Structure 1
């Protein structure tokens, strides 16, 4: 059932501007670092002489948690907005597909779109490094792949709570505003505590035990997903 619902959701996002958003974030972050390194290439090459690729990845990843949380907020709103704008909830939920399957399909769709965006960021950063003259033999593929995927795992609670709020609320202003507040708070979350959930997207990259924070983020995200799914299954969505 979830597969059928997911296939239908893939068709629904055509022409809705969602793919533009998926490409916008990695292109924007890559362009930002192209400008940064382009203007200060000699200085940055000297500063990161021992690890040029690590320096490039470190400069990019600073902005990844914010981009992920904002992306999760906007994607959730756009995915939910398709049903709200068309007034198709009653028709959709009257089909022989269980509500949890409908909810899970939309969560998986958002996850896949964010993963695609993260992989595009990896490709963009590697391409930028090659353009800047970094040695192709030294490309840290494992770290480059983790660039977005590890913070994504840490940011799953934000995705789960935003998808929940946007799906059950016809007025998207409140959940989107809440998501923006979460994203901005996440920028300063390390000053609160590394154990604060909004800090996990950063800790999933920078902490010595990064996998622990990624696992914590994924675990909390799944818990919120299940709570939201139960609420959605009982709520009269119009």
Structure 2
């Protein structure tokens, strides 16, 4: 399996993968930099109005919605780039002719998708810390909440990752899978806004922050653990279903 992963890395080195991996966290951090710098008075009023215990807590809340939209899009584009390496070069016949099971090929590419997005949220985590330090946040860094926000996002996006990867691997036209992923990311925001639909998995990324706005102000997210467990179980199931389908499909 290690040799397969190494071979996949050599293929990915020639792609635009790293641009996509870094684009979303850097864009969100750039927005926060502008927001906290040029709207300082407005931000201070919101911090007081929302009853935030620190600027770190407000930062987590403020970027959760934007990152909750951007990260599923990043997962969609990353899955497309990884799958399209074979589609674009018409390399499936050569890849599948090797004495390696299709399931292992599928899983190796999905592992690289997971590694790529893990790197993305890690950049976002340390980017937030760096941003807070240069802006002079005086309070102690809430590492548990920040780690929960970043890597919790990775888990709640797992079902979307698995589904989008399945689409990208089985359908050659990547415009279709990207369109589905874009619509799903936007739908997630609308689903999260209503009590009747907020438990749909598409709505989890925009609700996966450890901090939410309640009637009494910003506080802990009581549904955070449930979102993680459901997403993990559903994501693993979709990866298994996708790998099984890919192993049986006739790939051109």
Task: Identify the TM-score tier after normalising by the shorter chain.
Answer: over 0.9
Q: Which runs of 4+ in 1 moved over 6 A?
A: none
CA contact (8 A) 1:201 1:214 kept: no
Where structure 1 has 5 or more consecutive residues not aligned to the other structure, the ranges are none
**Cα shift at 1:46:** 4.8
Instruction: Give SS of 2:204's match.
Output: helix
When structure 1 is superposed on structure 2, of 200-209 and 65-74 the one drifting more is 200-209
Distance (Å, rounded) in 1 between the aligned partners of 2:42 and 2:199? 35
Partner residue, 1:76: 79
CA contact (8 A) 1:30 1:121 kept: yes
Partner residue, 1:25: 24
Where structure 2 has 5 or more consecutive residues not aligned to the other structure, the ranges are 213-220
TM-score, normalization: structure 2? Answer: 0.89
Partner residue, 2:94: 91
Instruction: Give SS of 1:188's match.
Output: helix
> Would you say 1:66 and 2:65 are equivalent positions?
no
**Cα shift at 1:194:** 2.2
**Cα shift at 1:220:** 0.5
CA contact (8 A) 2:69 2:206 kept: no
More helix by share: 1
RMSD between aligned alpha carbons?
1.4
Alignment of 1:1-238 (within 5 A): 1=1, 3-48=2-47, 50-135=53-138, 138-190=140-192, 191=194, 192-205=196-209, 206=212, 207-238=221-252
Q: Deviations over 1:120-140 (max 9, x none)?
A: 0111111111111102x6111
**Cα shift at 1:223:** 0.6
Partner residue, 2:218: none
TM-score, normalization: structure 1? Answer: 0.94
